[in-house]
């Protein structure tokens, strides 16, 4: 039987992929890549673009085509069998990547190419080679053989432990439910959530409602449930996930894994000559040092904390009592309603998902002249998944993207964009890029469309920004196309830039339409929504600074003799920048997948760093006109199309005409006016 994971063209055949396909497909791909690598290394002619870089890029793309659907299905449709196969593959994948990056023969080929490269011929190739040489060094290519093997073993173990961290979190969430038969206890919870809970109870042959510990249900309860004890129960379960006291009675405790992860990262970093993992991570970032990042974050805290303290004092004064952690979301929503006469549930009927997506696609057309077309006859992993293609004015396909928006028990929480197919150029032409856009909203029920809160709309816009970054690239080398090769602290620029459009009155007006009557959002509500953007913006700012400083410090200050000191450091950070008190039982770090699961390790600050870039970039559109074609095309050409082929600082300057400045972000958040003196310069 043909293994669907070994197809080298077209979209993945998701419905055909079975757990038994996973490991054989990876083994076959790695074997073929090893054979081709030896062929490249054995060539007698001088290394160059045709005989070295192009075939290596083909190898990169081949492995991505095999592994991408495996990784994607593990996040959106996990099963015990697929998880076992996935975990068996992780050491092999890590070993292959490390061996490739530590191969001195290959390193010498790239050095030869760099030495003889025509610097004016193809700037993309220059960037590709520069990135490759840096990555060789970061993998310890010059280490003695024994230390190379040690680095390889560390990276293999790290990949497994990080995966186990995520599996524990998923399992701990699945282990907790709240079964309720008293409708009064559920007072205030939106009907869409209750409809899903009723369906969940019916599936289990239970009376009443079965509420699960997924993200949309948790947010709905903590924000809208009138019953204080119910909010407390959900809050407690959520903030103790994957901890010694969380769902599953500690069976899914991540505490030891977190220590292992920090130890392994530190060991890998020191093996290749860095003082700590934070220094190692920053070697490929826009920020240049731990001190620079810390100063940036502490400056944000300094200018934001007075506003945050004022906001929290106002909230408690309005509530008329001291508030517990599980009260914050509930009373904040009530205060927002009182102050702006606007609530999520009042807005939802005006934002049916089809109308929101239509509005998003119209923005894309107005900015870049690109149309979106849905294709029906596409293989997918879930019936509710949709597939779209981007088409330019010449009716040429630019790329495509899958959209998977609803929460499921076997699906990772949160929202993200992931690469399905990478752009590349080969003898047969251009391979168009394809993306996955994933969210976790409440499924539609009772023949109604899914109705989104405005926060959920912002999330869709955010992930669509990532999607455009992947799809609009003009770089033809997979290793630096789209988001590849983009510094991690700048990769959020296009996504956070797109969020701004979800707040613009003109956009919101045209994007809204009552799901029953079709009426646009009333002007009164539109005005209040716009005004509510800065509601508790100080609290939101210090919360993100808290997470960022915690992440930076646990990696920069790790001492192998003392361990991670994870919660002592978190408590120190909170005492300095946080405003809202945190209960002693809170185990936030145990579910901090952004950091302990991989991706944003020593890089969570990237959200705020890139938000500075995004706010400054958007201010250029505000100055010229929101849909000014010259500005839009310049943003597309200098930011969205270049992938990792251009230094991001130079790319931003090419767009904005200067270095980024922090003031637009502080103005956007309504914080600048509350500070005194110089709010600080740019990045």
Q: What is the pLDDT of residue 119?
A: 65
Confidence of residue 46 (pLDDT cuts 50, 70, 90): confident
Place of tokens 């030891």: 256
What letter would DSSP give residue 15? Answer: G
Q: What would the pLDDT profile of 596-610 be if each residue is shown by its tens digit?
A: 997 899 999 999 999
Active site residues: 463
The candidate with the shortest Cα–Cα distance to 513, out of 345, 374, 347, 340, is: 347
Report the distance separating Cα 196 and Cα 186, nearest Å: 13
Which ranges of 472-565 does DSSP label H, i.e. alpha helix? 493-499, 505-511, 523-531, 537-556
- The domain made up of 4-101+103-138 is a member of CATH 1.20.1050.40: yes
DSSP H or E run through 256: helix 255-271
Strand-pairing partners, residue 387, are 402
Confidence band, pLDDT 50/70/90 cuts, at residue 677: very low
pLDDT digits (tens, 9 = 90+) for 82-112: 999 999 999 999 999 999 999 999 999 999 9
- Residue 152 and residue 99: Cα distance in Å, rounded? 7
Answer with the residue of higher pLDDT: 248 or 469. 469
User: Residue 371: beta bridge partners?
Assistant: 391
Mean pLDDT of the chain: 94
pLDDT at 304 over 80: yes
Cα torsion 317, 322, 328, 334: sign: negative
pLDDT, tens only, 535-587: 999 999 999 999 999 999 999 999 999 999 999 999 999 999 999 999 999 99
Residue pair 19/2 in contact (Cβ under 8 Å)? The answer is no
State yes or no: pLDDT of 489 exceeds 80. yes
- Coil, strand or helix at 154: helix
Residue 123 pLDDT level (bands cut at 50, 70, 90): confident
Element (H, E) at 71: helix 54-76
The Cα 184–Cα 537 span in angstroms is 33
Percent of the chain topping pLDDT 70? 98
Q: What is the pLDDT of residues 418-438, one digit of tens each?
A: 999 999 998 888 999 999 999
| Cβ–Cβ < 8 Å for 163, 90 | yes
At 387 the pLDDT is: 98
> What is the arithmetic mean of pLDDT over 263-291?
96
Report pLDDT for 628: 96
| Poorest-pLDDT segment among 51-60, 117-126, 317-326 | 117-126
Give CA–CA dist 388/372, Å, rounded. Answer: 6
- Confidence (pTM): 0.88
What is the mean pLDDT of the segment spanning 14-25?
97
First to last CA, the chain: 55
Place of tokens 């003898």: 427
Q: How far apart are CA 512 and CA 516, in angstroms?
A: 12
Torsion of the alpha carbons at 303, 309, 314 and 319, rounded to the nearest 10: 140
Residue 344, CA distances (Å) to 85, 290, 337, 373, 539 in order: 41, 39, 9, 30, 19
Token pair 């405790």: residue: 253
As annotated, the residues of the chain forming the CATH 1.20.1050.40 domain(s) are 4-101+103-138
Q: How far is 473 from 469, CA to CA, in rounded Å?
A: 6
- For the chain, the maximum distance between any two Cα atoms, rounded to a whole number of angstroms, is 80
Assess whether pLDDT exceeds 80 at residue 392.
yes
Per-residue pLDDT at 672 exceeds 90: no
Given a cut of 60, is residue 681 above it in pLDDT? no
Q: What is the pLDDT of residue 599?
A: 82
Q: Which of 42-56, 110-124, 146-160, 374-388 bottoms out in mean pLDDT, i.e. has the lowest? A: 110-124
As a whole number, mean pLDDT of residues 238-243 equals: 96
The residue behind tokens 């509420």 is 211
């Amino acid at each position: 039987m043909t293994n669907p994971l070994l197809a080298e063209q077209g979209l993945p055949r998701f419905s055909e992929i079975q757990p038994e396909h996973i490991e054989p497909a990876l083994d076959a791909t790695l074997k073929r890549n090893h054979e081709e690598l030896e062929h490249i290394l054995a060539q007698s002619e001088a290394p160059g673009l045709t005989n070295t870089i192009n075939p290596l890029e083909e190898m990169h793309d081949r492995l991505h085509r095999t592994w991408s659907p495996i990784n994607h299905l593990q996040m959106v449709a996990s099963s015990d069998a697929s998880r076992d196969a996935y975990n068996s593959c992780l050491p092999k994948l890590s070993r292959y990547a490390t061996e490739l990056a530590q191969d001195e023969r290959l390193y010498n080929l790239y050095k030869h190419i760099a030495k003889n490269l025509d610097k004016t011929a193809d700037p993309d190739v220059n960037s590709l080679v520069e990135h490759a040489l840096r990555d060789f060094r970061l993998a310890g290519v010059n280490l003695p053989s024994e230390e190379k093997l040690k680095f390889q073993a560390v990276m293999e173990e790290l990949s497994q432990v990080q995966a186990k961290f995520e599996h524990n979190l998923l399992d701990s969430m699945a282990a907790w439910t709240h079964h309720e038969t008293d409708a009064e206890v559920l007072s205030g919870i939106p009907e869409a959530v209750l409809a899903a809970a009723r369906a969940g109870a019916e599936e289990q042959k239970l009376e009443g409602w079965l509420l699960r510990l997924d993200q949309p249900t948790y947010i709905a309860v903590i924000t809208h449930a009138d019953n204080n004890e119910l909010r407390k129960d959900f809050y407690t379960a959520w903030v103790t996930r994957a901890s010694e006291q969380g769902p599953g009675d500690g069976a899914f405790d991540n505490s030891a894994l977190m220590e292992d992860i920090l130890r392994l990262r530190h060991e890998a970093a020191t093996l290749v000559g860095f003082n700590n993992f934070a220094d190692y991570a920053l070697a490929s970032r826009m920020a240049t040092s731990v001190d620079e990042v810390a100063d940036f974050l502490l400056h944000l805290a300094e200018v934001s904390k007075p506003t945050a303290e004022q906001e929290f004092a106002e909230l408690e004064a309005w509530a008329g009592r001291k508030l517990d952690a599980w009260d914050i979301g509930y009373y904040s929503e009530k205060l927002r309603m009182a102050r702006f006469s606007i609530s999520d549930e009042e807005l939802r009927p005006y934002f049916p998902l089809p109308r929101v997506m239509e509005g998003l696609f119209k923005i894309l057309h107005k900015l870049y002249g690109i149309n979106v077309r849905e294709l029906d006859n596409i293989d997918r992993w879930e019936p509710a998944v949709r597939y779209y293609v981007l088409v330019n004015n010449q009716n040429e396909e630019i790329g495509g993207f899958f959209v998977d928006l609803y929460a499921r028990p076997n699906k990772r929480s949160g929202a993200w964009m992931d690469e399905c197919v990478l752009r590349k150029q080969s003898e047969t032409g251009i391979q168009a890029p394809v993306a996955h856009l994933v969210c976790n909203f409440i499924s539609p029920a009772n023949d109604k469309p899914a109705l989104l809160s405005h926060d959920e709309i912002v999330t869709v816009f955010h992930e669509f920004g990532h999607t455009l970054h992947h799809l609009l690239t003009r770089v033809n080398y997979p290793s630096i196309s789209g988001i590849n090769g983009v510094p991690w602290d700048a990769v959020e620029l296009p996504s956070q830039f797109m969020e701004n459009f979800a707040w613009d009155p003109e956009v919101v007006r045209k994007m809204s339409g009552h799901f029953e009557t079709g009426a646009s959002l009333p002007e009164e509500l539109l005005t209040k929504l716009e005004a509510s953007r800065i509601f508790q913006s100080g609290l939101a700012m210090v919360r993100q600074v808290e997470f960022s400083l915690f992440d930076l410090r646990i990696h920069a200050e790790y001492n192998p003799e003392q361990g991670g000191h994870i919660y002592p450091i978190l408590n120190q950070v909170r005492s300095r920048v946080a405003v809202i008190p945190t209960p002693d039982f809170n185990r936030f770090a145990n579910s901090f997948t952004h950091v302990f699961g991989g991706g944003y390790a020593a890089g969570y600050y990237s959200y705020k760093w890139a938000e500075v870039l995004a706010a400054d970039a958007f201010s250029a559109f505000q100055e010229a006109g929101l849909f000014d074609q010259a500005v839009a095309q310049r943003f597309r050409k200098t930011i969205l199309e270049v992938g990792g082929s251009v230094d991001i600082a130079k790319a931003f300057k090419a767009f904005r005409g200067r270095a980024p400045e922090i003031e637009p972000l502080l103005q956007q958040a309504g914080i600048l006016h509350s500070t005194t003196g110089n709010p600080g310069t740019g990045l």
